[in-house]
């Protein structure tokens, strides 16, 4: 009887070891992200925020046919834009970018502070609540900066130019995951459009 029990225990151990090796042990989809400086932001997110990039925050405008200034300037010859339009769009883009860079830095700093409290085990319920409120406000302001800038472009463009822009950007009802527009990082585009979910 002892021998049979030993055989069963050895078999059970071997099966559990095999299951662990074969990937049947549930892994978190976050595995590997524990080495990030700021766990809630990828290096690409941080780079995008530091350069004043859109970070997908203006999709409500962009995907509803309200052009963004950065992409208008990238496609100025294809839309096409005249000199006065380029000057007007450059002016709103420059102002937006300066504000977005400042607000992006603020958001990164707030996320880093929250990260630090968790890392150092100094987080409290009250501190968590105030940190999240500040992060939400910073993110809201950043999104406002990008969306409000989109609101300014239709007054500068003709309806034909807006239509051309949307066609060039691939917004003619086609699957956005199948067509990464010119000037976009394929990885960021796929992430912001939920292509890999």
Instruction: Please give the pLDDT value at position 162.
Output: 95
Instruction: Please give the pLDDT value at position 10.
Output: 60
CB 190 within 8 A of CB 196: yes
Instruction: Please give the pLDDT value at position 37.
Output: 87
- Cα–Cα dist 48/69, whole Å: 16
Question: What's the domain range around 151?
Answer: 37-192
Question: Does residue 9 fall inside a structural domain?
Answer: no
Where the chain has pLDDT below 70, the residues are 1-24, 173-184, 189, 192-194, 197
Instruction: Please give the pLDDT value at position 82.
Output: 98
Q: How many CB atoms lie within 10 A of CB 55?
A: 22
Question: Does residue 18 fall inside a structural domain?
Answer: no
CB 149 within 8 A of CB 93: yes
Question: Does residue 7 fall inside a structural domain?
Answer: no
Instruction: Please give the pLDDT value at position 178.
Output: 64
Helices (H) and strands (E) in the chain, counts: 8, 0
Cα angle 178, 180, 181 (rounded to 5 degrees) comes to: 135
Q: How many CB atoms lie within 10 A of CB 8?
A: 10
Question: Does residue 14 fall inside a structural domain?
Answer: no
Instruction: Please give the pLDDT value at position 31.
Output: 86
Question: Does residue 138 fall inside a structural domain?
Answer: yes
Question: Does residue 52 fall inside a structural domain?
Answer: yes
CB 179 within 8 A of CB 168: no
Question: Does residue 154 fall inside a structural domain?
Answer: yes
Give the tens place of pLDDT for each residue, 134-181.
Answer: 999 999 999 999 999 999 999 999 999 999 999 999 887 655 666 666
- Cα–Cα dist 153/67, whole Å: 6
Instruction: Please give the pLDDT value at position 181.
Output: 65
Report how far apart, in Å, the C-alpha atoms of 128 and of each of 46, 110, 122, 135, 140 are: 22, 11, 10, 10, 18
pTM of the model: 0.73
Please count the structural domains in the chain.
Answer: 1
Question: Does residue 182 fall inside a structural domain?
Answer: yes
Instruction: Please give the pLDDT value at position 152.
Output: 97
DSSP string, 71-83: HHHHTTTTTT--H
């Amino acid at each position: 009887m002892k021998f049979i029990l030993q055989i069963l225990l050895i078999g059970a151990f071997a099966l559990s070891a095999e299951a662990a090796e074969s990937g049947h042990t549930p892994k978190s989809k976050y595995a590997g992200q524990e080495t990030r400086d700021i766990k809630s932001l990828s290096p690409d997110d941080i780079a995008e925020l530091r350069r004043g990039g859109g970070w997908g925050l203006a999709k409500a405008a962009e995907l509803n046919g309200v052009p963004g200034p950065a992409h208008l300037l990238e496609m100025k010859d294809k839309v096409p834009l005249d000199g006065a339009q380029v000057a007007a769009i450059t002016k709103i883009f420059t102002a937006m970018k300066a504000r977005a860079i400042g607000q992006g830095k603020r958001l990164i700093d707030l996320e880093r502070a929250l990260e630090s409290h968790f890392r150092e085990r100094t987080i409290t319920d009250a501190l968590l609540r105030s940190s999240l409120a500040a992060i939400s406000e910073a993110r809201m302001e950043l999104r406002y900066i990008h969306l409000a800038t989109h609101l300014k472009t239709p007054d500068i463009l003709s309806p034909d130019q807006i239509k051309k822009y949307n066609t060039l950007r691939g917004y003619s009802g086609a699957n956005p995951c199948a067509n990464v527009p010119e000037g976009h990082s394929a990885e960021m585009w796929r992430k912001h459009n939920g292509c890999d979910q």
